[in-house]
Structure 1
Amino acid sequence: MFRYVHTNIIAKDHEKLIAFYKKVFHCKSIGETRDLRGEWLDKMTGISNAHIVGEHLCLPGYEEDHPTIEIFSYDEMETANVPQINRCGIAHLAFEVDDVEETLRNLLKEGGSQIGEVVKADYDDGRKAIFVYATDCEGNIIELQSWK
């Protein structure tokens, strides 16, 4: 079997970031909190005395268990580079929303920030879309999109 399971974000403050994703993107708790440590975790991460805390949140629009966004904090973390939309690697998480401008206002109110302008795009097949790049309250890049 193959299926997509989760995306992991390492947060400076997992509780604050979890609250942000619940409030802004309607992610839901599914009872999968984590407080992990032990030899198996040290071996898997390559970090001595690793300790992870956090929670899995069900993404909006999906069943109660998958896929999830996994928001964790380690006791000791490395400083990240400033996320940039054109940096190699995973660039952003995308959420389809009913109203891009309203969701952006909520995101900004909860401590996120806007990267570029809200844009409207017409596709050759007749579909229309509204897009904007923003960041969550810890600087991770988010794309908001709405289709008609």
Structure 2
Amino acid sequence: MAVKRMDNVGIVVEDLEETIDFFHELGLELEGRGTIEGEWAGRVTGLGDQQVEVAMMRTPGGHSRVELSRFLRPPAVADHRNAPVNALGYLRVMFAVDDIDETLERLRNRGAQLVGEVVHYKDVYRFCYIRGPEGLLIGLAQELS
């Protein structure tokens, strides 16, 4: 059996409102939000008794989603948001954008910081990494035509 699709990428944050606003500015839509708790949820995560605020952000067209989670119980226990780009584990989420300069300008107004610089790759793409809310590493790519 083959994979049908990737449903979402999950990101744990401390400030859910700020992060929702940031991803909305990027162009994602808030699909829904709520609190997840109960015995069944703890069985899935292995955390036991848990309470988590969740917001699902959808890309235009609805093909991809980012699930933002804020743990109320138990609290977050590790922080690797400011790890360097060559750290082991998940690296970043990459978004295709229409205009990288305009997107960077809007996101800088929400606190985004350019990690290195915007670069060209073989006259095919312009791309960069930014640090978003809470130091989240996010990639932006503009296809050149």
- TM category, shorter: 0.7 to 0.9
- In structure 1, the partner of 2:11 is 9
Aligned partners of 1:97, 1:91: CA distance in 2, in Å? 19
Structure 1, unaligned runs of 5 or more? none
RMSD between superposed Cα atoms in Å? 1.6
Q: Which residue of 1 aligns with 2:126?
A: 130
Give 1:145's aligned residue: 141
Map of 1:68 onto structure 2: 65
One-letter identity of the residue aligned with 2:139: E
Q: Look up the match of 1:96.
A: 96
**Cα distance in 2, alignment partners of residues 56 and 68 from structure 1:** 7
Alpha-carbon distance in structure 1 between the residues aligned to 2:83 and 2:100: 21
Give the number of equivalent residue pairs: 139
Aligned to 1:27: 28
Within-5 A mapping of 1:35-114 = 35-60=35-60, 62-63=61-62, 66-75=63-72, 76-81=75-80, 82-114=82-114
TM-score, L = length of structure 2: 0.87
SS at match of 1:84: coil
* Preserved contact between residue 20 and residue 30 of structure 2 (Cα < 8 Å): no
How many Å separate the matches in 1 of 2:33 and 2:114? 30
Contact 1:112 1:138 in 2 (8 A): no
TM-score normalised by length of structure 1: 0.85
Between the aligned partners of 1:144 and 1:36, the Cα distance in structure 2 is 31
* Conservation of the 8 A alpha-carbon contact between 1:131 and 1:145: yes
Unaligned runs of 5+ in 2: none
